[in-house]
Structure 1
Amino acid sequence: MYNKTTTLFKHNYQVSAHIVINQGGTSSGKTFAIEQVLFCLAAEAEKQVITVVGQDIPNLKAGALRDAQNIYDGSPILQRLIKGYNKTDRIFEYWNGSRTMGQTGAIMGEPAA
């Protein structure tokens, strides 16, 4: 979807496993590449619901949601596939009925703060 992808994107996009572990340091591109994959999956299949979970809203906004907005802003193709973005509820809604959303929740079995 986004006109600039990395090897990390390609590995995540082409994987057949149900669980994928991405390792790397801060600012290594993990979140960005994974979100590119999630945008592609939502655009390719109708009525998908994809949730990106963060430990709390400030961290979600500073990381995953900011990256998602940058991916969307940088991709004219993606802009045509997405009907709109509800900033309050943090939901991208696609013309095909799919949705991606940012939420807080449990991480590794621990309740969110």
Structure 2
Amino acid sequence: MIARIWHGYTKPQDADVYEAMLKPELLPGIGKIPGYRGGIVLRRPLGDEVEFITIMIWDSLEALKAVAGPNYAVAIIPEDRMKHLSRYDKQSAHYEIQSLQGLAGIAG
């Protein structure tokens, strides 16, 4: 399995609105794509910004590439969310998941 990790930053006053836009799906329609397993949104205050980290879980890099194409690392940010970001990673990082422990049933 593959974890696709991306960082975005908002001003504190934009953080709640931006976070609400990430729910219920990180990207519109992503839950219907073969090979997509789910996602995690992390949030923390960071000085005069709020940092968001999204982690999207895929069955394989091939499953991700089938959707995102050869430039699969390029960040995908819907236009309606761009206005809330003060800065963001232009590319996502991809990691092979070596272990998942005790995560069943924790989504809320």
Q: Same-fold call, TM > 0.5?
A: no
Greater percentage in helix: 1
User: TM-score, normalized by length of structure 1?
Assistant: 0.31
Greater percentage in strand: 2
Higher RCO (C-alpha under 8 Å, 6+ residues apart): 2
